[in-house]
Structures are given as structure tokens and as C-alpha cells.
């Protein structure tokens, strides 16, 4: 992350012009005053378990800090285990740490630990305190009691991101990388040295940092307000969007998704588990809508009748409504006119569905749209490590004209290629890569005709077939580059080794050499003169797990430079919920065994543990990574040798006798999954 301080005025001006800061600060102050009236230290000393925990309904401390007070910083996500003790509606029992015999004994200890946390703020707590690893709950509690000492930011990965962006070197915060309170205090100290941020309200600082550094693409979600939009009139008038499934009750009362899903499945689609899961996911997506998300209201399968933006009030269960009691507050676009779009047949089966931004933009082209909150105007930023890597790539490309990024799967080779193009063009004050870069993927069926030129069959108006000579993707790209000789053009070839490289390149192999650029040859089919311009650079990627570099054509190897991409453990060294070990430690443990068994080419890359360029942070995400990414890849490596697979990831994941994966780990309680993950590292 590049230091943003050099352009701080720009970021502040944009933030203050696009965000209603005063409204957010006012709401935060109201909530803080309410908290101070309800939850003093004396109140904690007499608080009962039912007044603290999630799961029984009603207003509790856990509900207040997670679901009611987003304006004071969010701790949503993950599961209810972050609160240490909660009531499971699904199991109809209390969930608490194993070392206690019952929930009341656990609560006595937890309440005592809360009091110690609050009273000893300056001294800190050790691992004997139950809140030691519960970073989100611990830090938000301390902020609410000491709002002048901390900032309302509780996620360790987010704090680390903000520190880096504000110029704090990693060496300075790395000793505290697992302690959200220490990191928060360092961030607070950093902000106090930066004007005008030092004079801002803490909530304004928090919103500014998230808006500037974590705002991604706008999320568009389609919601149908009843069959044939029958509830749209009420939604429009009341400035909200609504859905049914009312019997499941207020969604904010459920400790986490798993508890909600269990309750939902008991009420709906009891004979169809797949349908029940699908619809539970839709309802939870609706509940998870956040301020700034865009709502697309459909009527039937081919009409969009309204668009709006989710406001700060978010989700509310409306007992006063006769039907469709699940609501989300929305500000509707006043000048929007209904549009007819190509039929979306699947909409008939989806009440709530996330859409692709590009798809929505295409449908609405030419109609009124409010300014997008997408951050396209934001200058790109690069980490120090990226800058060093890209300068190395630049030297290699200047010398050879092309390079191959090679390494195990998931090491970010294609991502690095794209980022390098962005970095390189940015040095020339070119902010858009479109037009200056192109990407293609080689595969066994890819041919010279696709790449350079060839005759392709076409149908005539008389129904006959004729052949027409067409330029391939690389030839067209070179012609475009020839028209702009002063600017570098980058051609990215993904999965280079999956294609028959000598056959695809043909006679162009010779022209790849740096001193042969602009040398013309006659193409065998069109008989045209062709050359590769000097300003064309080729970046290829190659998975070494698929095919060793040693097996590559020698003539090709001479013409390419090779840059190895290995797992980067630093970018995934943050915490995940209540997990003892970071993704970096988990991945290292697996890779060490893979190196022993199959060599360094068989390692797994860090990108499997990342999402949108950042490390995953929840147990749910880690479950998905293992179920859908890591285990299938390792099964392929092991060729159905389940004993070897069990050696790599542990017998908790693998039933060796039955030769199958224990999929219950991914749908059951988090405790069992966490224990299995911890055992990977322990060996």
C-alpha cells in the first residue's frame, strides 16, 4: 500500500464531498451516550448471563455491540463464538468454552475478565483472560469505555492496512500483529500526528479510512418485493425494500448464519434441503446488505422498476407490517424510469440475487444513473514489495522483451502480471490499462490460426460454408501497438505451458528475440509482411505443478526470461476470528509436507487465502477455501491416495478407510473445524 499522505488533500476533499459526515457523527454520539447510560462498569459487575449473551432474544450486551451500534464501528461477520458464550437455538443449549462445567461457571469467569479488561486498560491482559483472542469484542468494548484513547476500528487486517497507508513501516507494527488493542493505539497515535485528521471526531476518521482505502466496487443486489412486485407501492412510499419468510422472525436476534439457517430449515422447505439452503442464503444476503449497496427492484423477469441505495439504518424487522416484515432502509433514485431488459429467466426463482456491476451498467446504459461510488478516479497504490518486484520485471523486459512468471498454483502470477501493467503505465501518467494490454489463455486446442492468422469457416447467405482469412489476437494487438510507438503495449499469455507453444508461435519464435524486433517476415497464409514492434512486451504465466520448465522447448527458453513466484506468507499473516494460527502458518505446514513428498513445484500459493486482494478473516471463508480449493487440489496431487492426503492435512479431514473427505467438518460446528486446522500446524 502506497503512502496516501502525499495526496491527503485530494482524498479528504473527495470524502467530504461524497459522504454525509455530520449525520454519521451525530448518530455515533447518540449511540455512545446511550451506551454510557446503559453499561457502566458497575452494571458489568452485576450483569447476568441473560443480559449479556446472544441467542435468547431481547436486547443484550452482545446484541448491542454487534447488531445495534454499527455507527460506532462494526464487528459483524464470523460467528457468535467471538462473544465466548451464547445460546444455540439450533442445539437448544448454551455454548461455552470446554474448560467449564456449565454456562454459569463460564459466565462468572467471563464477567470477571471483562471487568479486568476495562479496569486494567493501560496494562493489558494475558492469555488467561477469555477475551485475550476475542479481538473484535475486546477492542470495541474498550473503545466504548475509552473513546478518547482508541479509534472505532476493530479488525486487525484493517488496522494493519491503514497503518501501512499512513506510512507506518511494517517493522513498527509487526510485533503487535495479533493484538488489536495495541495496533489500534498505534493507529491512534499516528492519526494524532497528521493534520487535519488529528482534529477530527474518531468516527469521522474511521469512516474516512474505510471509504478511502477499502471502498471497492459498488454491490448491486436484485430484490423482488413480492410476486409481480405486489409490495412495491408500500416499499416506495416507506423508503425501504422488503421480503417475506416472516415466521423466522427478526434476523438480528440470531447469533450467526448457522443458527439462522437451522431455524429456517425447520420452518420452510422441510422436504427439500437444497431449496431450503438456497432460500436461507437469499434471506441472509438481504440481511447482510450494507450502506452504499445498490438495490435493483425487478417486476417479473424482464423489467427493472426502481433503483436505490441502502442507507445507514440498514435492516429492520417491522412487526407493524402485515406481511413482508423483513425490511432494509433505502433511498430511491428520484429520476429513475422503469426499463425493459433482456429476459432473465432465473429471476423467476430468485427473490434476492447479487448482480454483476457491468451487467447492470449495460442494462441501464442511456438511462439515469446517479454518480457511481466506484473508486476509478483513485490513483493506484502499490506495496514496497510490489514496487521492488515490478522494477525487477521492468529490467528483465527491457533486456529480453518477454518473461515467464512461473511457480506453484495460487502464487499470484496472473495478478502480478496485471498489476505490473498497471504500475508500468502509471509511471507514464496513463491511468487506464484498457487498450494498452490484452490477455489470452493457452490451452490444448489453441492454434496458430487463433494467435496469428488463419482461415476460418463462415456461412454464406445461401447456407453454404466458405473460408475467410482472419487475423489472430496477437497479430491484431501488434498492429495496434505499431500505431502508438511511444507507449509500451503488454500482451499477457496465461497458462503458457498448456498450449503447444512451437505450433502456436510458428515462425514468430525467431521474432521474439530483442534484436529481431521490427524485422519483417512473410506470413505463410496471407503473404503479408509482419513484424513484432519494439514496444510490445510479452508476459506469460506458467504453473510448475502442471509441467516442469525442464520439459519446455529449448528454443523458447532461450528467448524468455524466467521470474519465479513463490508463496508469499507475509500477506496472509493476519488473524482469522478465534483461530490460534494465521493462514501463513497453516499454509507453511502444508507446503513443508508437499516439498518433502513432491518437491517445491508442488507447493500451494497464498492467493487461495485471499479475497479481493486481502487476506480472508473469517472461519466461514476458511472453510470454503479448504472445501473448494485446497482439498480438491491436494486430491489431484495425491492421485486418490487417501493415506497421503491424510498425512498432508490430517485424519480429521480424511476418512482413509472409506476413501472420502469428512465434509461434515464444513457444515458442522466451528470448534471441530478449528481443532482440525490447529492440528495441521501442530503436526
pLDDT of residue 345: 83
In a domain, 371, yes or no: no
Looking at residue 543, its pLDDT comes to: 87
| Whether residue 628 sits in one domain with residue 553 | no
Pick the residue with more confidence: 401 or 612? 401
Q: How confident is the model at residue 83 (pLDDT cuts 50, 70, 90)?
A: very high
How far is residue 531 from each of residues 358, 470, 522, measured CA to CA in Å? 36, 17, 9
Segments in 21-167 forming alpha helices (H): 21-38, 41-46, 49-52, 61-63, 103-119, 135-145, 156-165
Question: Under a CB-based contact definition with an 8 Å cutoff, are residues 458 and 466 in contact?
Answer: yes
Residue 217: predicted pLDDT: 63
Domain shared by 530 and 426, yes or no: yes
Burial class (CB in 10 A: 0-12, 13-18, 19+), 425: buried
Q: What is the Rg, in whole angstroms, of the alpha carbon atoms belonging to the chain?
A: 28
Closest CA to 110 of 124, 83, 130, 134: 130
Lowest mean pLDDT: which of 186-190, 217-221, 504-508, 513-517? 217-221
Q: Which residues sit opposite 22 in a β-bridge?
A: none
pLDDT of residue 548: 59
Length of the chain: 683
Contact 73, 65 (CB under 8 A): no
Angle (deg, nearest 10), helices 583-598 and 631-638 = 10
User: What pLDDT, on the 0 to 100 scale, is given for residue 682?
Assistant: 82
Residue 376 within any structural domain of the chain: no
Q: Are residues 466 and 496 in the same domain?
A: yes
**Which residue segment(s) compose the domain that 106 sits in?**
5-213
- Partnered with residue 331 across adjacent β-strands are 309
User: Who contacts 513 (Cβ-Cβ below 8 Å, separation ≥6)?
Assistant: 401, 559
C-alpha to C-alpha distance for 494 and 542, rounded to whole angstroms: 7
Residue 221, strand partner residues? 295, 354
Residue 72, classed as helix, strand or coil, is helix
State the burial class of residue 122 (Cβ atoms within 10 Å of its Cβ: 0-12, 13-18, 19+).
Answer: exposed
C-alpha 337/C-alpha 221 separation (Å) is 18
The CATH number that applies at residue 456 is 3.40.50.300
| Averaged pLDDT, 358-367 | 76
Distance CA 330, CA 293 (A): 9
| Contact predicate 497/503, CB 8 Å | no
* Run of H or E residues at 467: strand 465-471
Residue 235, pLDDT score: 95
By CB neighbour count within 10 A (0-12 exposed, 13-18 middle, 19+ buried), where does 509 fall? middle
Q: Contact, 187 vs 155, CB < 8 A?
A: no
Note the pLDDT tens digit of each residue in 12-56: 887 887 777 888 899 999 999 999 999 999 999 999 999 999 988
Assess whether 536 and 611 both reside in one domain.
Answer: no
Residues 146 and 180 in one domain: yes
Q: Is residue 412 over pLDDT 50?
A: yes
* Helix, strand, coil fractions of the chain, as percent rounded to 5: 45, 15, 35
Residue 375 lies in a domain: no
- Tell me: do 236 and 316 sit in the same domain: yes
Q: Which of 154, 182, 213 is the last residue of a domain?
A: 213
Do 209 and 232 sit in the same domain of this protein?
no
Backbone torsions φ then ψ of 185, nearest 5 degrees: -65, -35
Rounded mean pLDDT of 634-647?
89
Residue 538 domain-assigned (yes or no): yes
Of 564, 586, 618, the domain-final residue? 564
* Average pLDDT for 649-671: 86
Q: Does the pLDDT value for residue 371 go beyond 70? A: no
Convert the pLDDT of each residue in 153-169 to its tens digit: 998 888 988 998 898 98
* Spatial distance between the Cα atoms of 665 and 676, rounded to a whole number of angstroms: 9
User: What is the value of pTM for the model shown?
Assistant: 0.53
Of 564, 594, 612, the one marking the end of a domain is: 564
Q: Are residues 435 and 329 in the same domain?
A: no
Q: Are strands 614-615 and 610-611 parallel, antiparallel or unpaired?
A: antiparallel
Residue 585 and residue 5: Cα distance in Å, rounded?
A: 33
Mean pLDDT throughout 205-231? 86
Identify whether residues 407 and 326 lie together within a single domain.
Answer: no
In this predicted structure, what is the pLDDT of residue 370? 41
pLDDT of residue 73: 92
Q: Structurally, how many domains does the chain consist of?
A: 4
Tell me: do 58 and 176 sit in the same domain. Answer: yes
Q: Is pLDDT of 148 > 50?
A: yes
pLDDT above 70 for 386: yes
Assigned domain for 342 exists: yes
How much of the chain, in percent, has pLDDT values that exceed 70? 94
Question: Does residue 379 fall inside a structural domain?
Answer: no
What average pLDDT does the segment 310-322 reach? 89
CA nearest neighbour of 559 among 444, 448, 399, 678:
399
pLDDT, the chain, mean: 87
* 59 within a domain of the structure (yes/no): yes
Whether residue 535 is found in the same domain as residue 657: no
Helix extents (H) in 445-484: 448-451, 473-482
pLDDT tens digits, 266-297 = 999 888 887 888 898 899 889 988 888 899 99
Confidence of residue 592 (pLDDT cuts 50, 70, 90): very high
Where residue 1 falls among pLDDT bands split at 50, 70, 90? very low
Where residue 463 falls (left for φ over 0; alpha for ψ -120 to 50; beta otherwise) is left
Model confidence at 365, in pLDDT bands (50, 70, 90)?
confident
The span from the CA of 31 to the CA of 24, in Å, is 11
378 lies in some domain: no
Backbone angles phi, psi at 44, to 5 degrees: -60, -35
Top-confidence residue, 517 or 151: 151
Q: What is the pLDDT of residues 535-556, one digit of tens each?
A: 999 999 998 876 556 677 787 8
For 274, other C-beta atoms within 10 Å of its C-beta total 8
Greater confidence (375 vs 203) lies with 203
pLDDT (average), residues 127-143 = 92
Cell of 666: 464444513
How confident is the model at residue 139, as a pLDDT?
95
When pLDDT is cut at 50, 70 and 90, the band that residue 378 belongs to is low
**Whether residue 240 sits in one domain with residue 151:** no
Stronger pLDDT, 78 or 250, i.e. the higher one: 250
Answer yes or no: is pLDDT of 369 > 60.
no
| Helical residues (DSSP H) of 455-573, grouped into ranges | 473-482, 501-505, 508-511, 554-559
Amino acid at each position: 500500500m502506497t503512502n496516501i499522505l502525499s495526496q491527503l488533500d485530494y482524498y479528504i476533499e473527495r470524502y467530504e464531498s461524497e459522504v454525509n459526515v455530520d449525520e454519521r457523527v451525530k448518530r455515533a454520539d447518540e449511540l455512545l451516550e446511550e451506551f454510557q447510560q446503559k453499561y457502566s462498569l458497575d452494571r458489568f459487575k452485576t450483569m447476568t448471563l441473560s443480559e449479556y449473551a446472544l441467542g435468547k432474544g431481547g436486547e443484550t450486551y452482545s446484541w448491542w455491540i454487534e447488531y445495534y451500534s454499527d455507527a460506532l464501528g462494526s464487528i459483524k461477520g464470523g460467528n457468535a463464538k467471538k462473544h465466548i458464550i451464547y445460546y444455540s437455538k439450533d442445539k437448544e443449549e448454551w455454548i461455552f468454552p470446554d474448560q467449564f462445567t456449565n454456562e454459569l461457571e463460564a459466565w462468572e469467569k467471563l464477567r470477571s475478565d471483562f471487568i479486568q479488561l476495562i479496569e486494567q486498560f493501560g496494562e493489558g491482559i494475558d492469555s488467561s483472560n477469555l477475551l485475550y483472542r476475542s479481538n473484535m469484542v475486546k477492542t470495541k468494548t474498550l473503545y466504548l469505555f475509552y473513546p478518547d484513547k482508541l479509534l472505532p476500528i476493530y479488525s486487525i487486517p484493517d488496522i494493519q492496512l491503514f497503518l501501512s497507508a499512513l506510512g507506518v513501516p511494517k517493522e513498527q507494527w509487526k510485533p503487535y500483529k495479533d493484538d488489536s488493542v495495541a495496533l489500534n493505539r498505534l493507529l491512534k497515535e499516528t492519526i494524532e500526528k497528521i493534520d487535519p485528521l488529528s482534529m477530527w471526531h474518531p468516527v469521522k476518521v474511521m469512516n474516512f479510512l474505510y471509504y478511502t482505502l477499502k471502498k471497492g466496487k459498488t454491490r448491486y443486489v436484485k430484490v423482488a418485493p413480492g410476486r409481480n412486485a405486489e409490495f412495491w407501492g408500500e416499499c416506495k412510499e416507506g423508503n425501504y425494500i422488503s421480503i417475506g419468510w416472516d415466521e423466522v422472525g427478526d434476523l438480528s436476534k440470531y447469533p450467526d448464519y448457522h443458527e439462522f439457517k437451522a431455524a429456517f430449515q425447520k420452518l420452510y422447505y422441510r422436504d427439500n434441503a437444497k431449496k431450503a439452503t438456497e432460500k436461507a442464503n437469499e434471506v441472509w444476503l438481504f440481511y447482510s446488505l450494507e450502506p452504499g449497496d445498490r438495490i435493483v427492484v425487478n417486476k417479473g423477469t424482464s423489467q427493472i422498476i426502481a433503483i436505490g441505495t441502502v442507507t445507514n439504518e440498514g435492516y429492520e424487522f417491522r412487526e407493524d407490517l402485515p406481511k413482508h416484515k423483513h425490511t432494509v432502509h433505502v433511498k430511491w433514485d428520484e429520476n429513475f424510469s422503469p426499463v425493459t431488459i433482456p429476459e432473465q429467466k432465473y429471476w423467476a426463482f430468485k427473490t434476492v440475487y447479487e448482480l454483476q456491476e457491468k451487467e447492470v451498467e449495460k442494462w441501464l446504459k442511456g438511462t439515469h444513473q446517479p454518480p457511481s461510488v466506484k473508486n476509478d478516479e483513485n490513483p493506484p497504490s502499490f506495496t514496497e514489495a510490489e514496487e521492488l518486484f515490478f522494477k525487477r520485471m521492468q529490467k528483465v523486459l527491457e533486456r529480453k522483451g518477454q518473461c515467464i512468471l512461473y511457480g506453484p498454483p495460487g502464487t499470484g502470477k496472473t495478478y502480478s502480471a496485471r498489476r505490473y501493467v498497471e504500475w508500468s503505465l502509471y509511471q507514464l501518467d496513463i491511468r487506464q490499462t484498457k487498450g494498452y494490454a490484452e490477455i489470452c489463455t493457452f490451452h490444448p486446442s489453441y492454434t496458430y490460426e487463433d494467435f496469428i492468422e488463419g482461415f476460418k469457416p463462415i456461412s454464406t447467405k445461401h447456407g453454404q460454408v466458405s473460408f475467410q482469412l482472419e487475423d489472430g489476437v496477437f497479430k491484431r494487438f501488434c498492429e495496434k501497438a505499431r500505431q502508438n510507438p511511444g507507449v509500451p503495449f503488454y500482451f499477457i499469455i496465461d497458462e503458457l505451458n498448456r498450449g503447444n507453444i512451437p505450433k502456436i508461435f510458428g515462425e514468430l519464435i525467431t521474432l521474439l528475440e530483442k534484436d529481431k524486433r521490427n524485422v519483417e517476415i512473410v506470413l505463410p497464409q496471407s503473404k503479408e509482411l509482419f513484424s513484432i514492434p519494439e514496444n510490445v512486451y510479452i508476459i506469460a504465466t506458467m504453473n510448475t505443478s502442471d509441467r516442469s520448465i525442464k520439459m519446455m522447448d529449448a528454443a523458447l527458453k532461450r528467448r524468455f526470461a524466467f521470474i519465479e513466484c513463490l508463496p508469499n506468507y507475509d500477506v496472509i499473516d493476519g488473524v482469522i476470528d478465534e483461530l490460534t494460527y494465521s493462514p501463513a502458518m497453516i499454509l507453511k505446514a502444508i507446503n513443508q509436507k508437499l516439498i518433502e513428498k513432491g518437491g517445491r513445484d508442488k507447493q500451494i500459493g497464498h492467493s487461495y487465502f485471499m479475497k479481493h486482494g486481502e487476506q480472508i478473516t473469517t472461519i466461514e471463508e476458511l472453510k470454503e477455501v479448504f472445501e473448494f480449493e485446497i482439498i480438491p487440489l491436494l486430491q489431484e496431487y495425491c492421485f486418490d491416495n487417501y493415506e497421503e492426503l491424510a498425512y498432508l492435512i490430517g485424519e480429521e479431514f480424511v476418512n482413509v478407510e472409506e476413501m472420502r473427505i469428512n465434509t461434515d467438518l464444513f457444515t458442522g460446528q466451528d470448534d471441530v473445524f478449528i481443532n482440525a486446522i490447529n492440528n495441521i500446524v501442530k503436526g
